[in-house]
Every structure is written in structure tokens, then in C-alpha cells.
Amino acid sequence: MKKIALDGFDLAYDRRGSGSPLLLIHGFPFDHSIWMDVAPLLEGEFDLILPDLRGFGESSTVDKFYSTADMARDLVSLLDALGIGKTSLAGHSMGGYVALAFAKQYPERVHRLALVASQAAGDSLERKEVRYKTAAEAAEKGVRVVVEAMIGKLTASPGARSRIRPLMEEQTVTGVIGALKAMAEREDSSAFLASFNRPVFLIHGDADELIPIERALEIKAILPSAVLSALYGGGHMPMLEMPEETALALKGMA
């Protein structure tokens, strides 16, 4: 992967295809490689930029508190380094939180925005507490704690599950803890999204057990212009479970 140097750490990214820029932002706790089944289906139409968010994959870890807004600023620095002004963004789950933080800070740089198995809502108090508890357990026992807590809810597909388990296990404790805290402290973006004036796309499996499709329907209710692609039978990892359907929905952003 290529790398750019940011404020004391490196951000790794892959770039492929040609066309209008589309930043594909992975979720938690993964890296850019979750997009590798859909990327070949999109690279004829898009200039795909696939970062590893700070703390994941080949990007460096950052051992202090940071926010989803900081993670979004990393991506703006990446675009600046690549000479890209405006881009479309598709964020999976946590990647959607980062995409929303990007759109809030730099609306003029967003062409179109897609949330894949994600949500605009912030964490409830209970959810926040669980995140901090998980972070403490991971610090003590390692990333495996997070893998075991999440894996059953991510996908019912044995093939997808066998691919994501090793990917999750190879992430670092520092990166996992940093992201858990950033997710816990993120703002509710519903009001922002309701007034966002760029095209919004929602791609969501109706069998997602981690972030139920109701979260996407809530966005559709406050932003009727949002284009919803409901993936029947899809879980939380549609880019692995249903790459063709996911790519087709993303092509609507071209």
C-alpha cells in the first residue's frame, strides 16, 4: 500500500480505477481489504481511494484520544495529498460515522454520500458504557475479546465469517481501543443529515443484527430524498455477503 505522513503517523491507502473519485471507508475493526470484492466491480466507473483508517491495517496507531472528526481530517489530508478537491464517500458502519464527520466539517468537498450498514444516531448511554467496558477488557485480554463479542452479529454467511475473523484478529489493541472511544464519543448526526443538501444513499441488509435496518429507515423518514437500497437477506457485511448487489447500489452514486 502507499502511505502519506500525517501529524506523527502514517496513513496507508490503496487507489485503483478511474472516473469520479469515491472514497470507500471501512468499518470496525477491519481495514480497506473488506472492499476487495466490490472494488473490481466499481473501478471502471470510479477513481477508488481505499484508506486504512488510523489504527487499522497498515496505517499507524495513535496512542491518545481521538474523535471520528480527527479520523475524517486524516482523509481530507489524504485527498489534499492526492490533489482531489471534491469526492463521493461511502462509509461502512464506523466508516459511515467517519463519513458523516467528514461531511459536517467539509460539506463543500462532498459530491455524494453513502452509508453502508451504518446510522446517523449517536450512542445511547448504555452503548457508550459497553464500549468503554470492551475497551478495558481488550486492553487486558487483547483483540480477541472484541472478535468474540462481535462475530456472531456480523454475518450469518460462513464464507464471510471465515474471512473477517482473521482480519479482525490481526488489528492492534491500540487501534481497536482508539476506535471504540471515538465511536462512543461521536455526536448524533441526524439533524445534520436531515438538512444535508447533497445526494445521500443508504445501503442496508434487512438481516443486519448489529445495526438494524430501522436505523436506515429512520434516516429515510427525516430525509425522504435519500435513496435506500434494502438488501434482502443481507447482514452487517454486505460488501462480502452480496458484493454484486452492493456494487450496483454504489454505482447509483456515479
The residues of the shown chain that bind ligand MLT, judged by CB under 6 A, are: 27-28, 93-94, 183, 210
Cβ proximity to ligand MLT: between 11 and 154 the closer is 154
Cα 119 vs. chain centroid, distance in angstroms? 10
Closer to ligand MLT by CB, 37 or 47: give it.
Answer: 37
Cα–Cα distance for residue pair 115/143, rounded to 1 Å: 26
Beta bridge partners of 91: 25, 115
Residue (47 or 215) nearer to ligand MLT, CB: 215
Q: Nine-digit cell at 190?
A: 441526524
SS3 for 23?
Answer: strand
> Which of 117, 99, 96 lies closest to 107 in space, CA to CA?
99
Name which of 112 and 186 has its Cβ closer to ligand MLT.
186
Backbone angles phi, psi at 22, to 5 degrees: -140, 115
Is 27 or 234 the residue whose CB approaches ligand MLT more closely?
Answer: 27
Measured from the Cβ of residue 164, the count of other Cβ atoms closer than 10 Å reads: 22
Smallest distance, ligand MLT to C-beta of residue 26, A: 8
DSSP for residue 118: -
What the block records as the C-alpha cell of 227 is 435513496
Alpha helices in 60-157 (DSSP H): 68-82, 94-105, 125-141, 144-154
Q: Which of 75, 77, 65, 127 is nearest to 98 (CA)?
A: 75
Residue 125 CA to chain centroid, in angstroms? Answer: 22
Considering beta carbons, is residue 73 or 186 the nearer one to ligand MLT?
186
What's the Cα-to-Cα distance from 217 to each of 73, 169, 190, 202, 238, rounded to whole Å? 28, 32, 12, 9, 17
Instruction: Please identify, using beta-carbon distances, which residue of 47 and 182 lies nearer to ligand MLT.
Output: 182
Give min distance, CB of 242 to ligand MLT, in A. 16
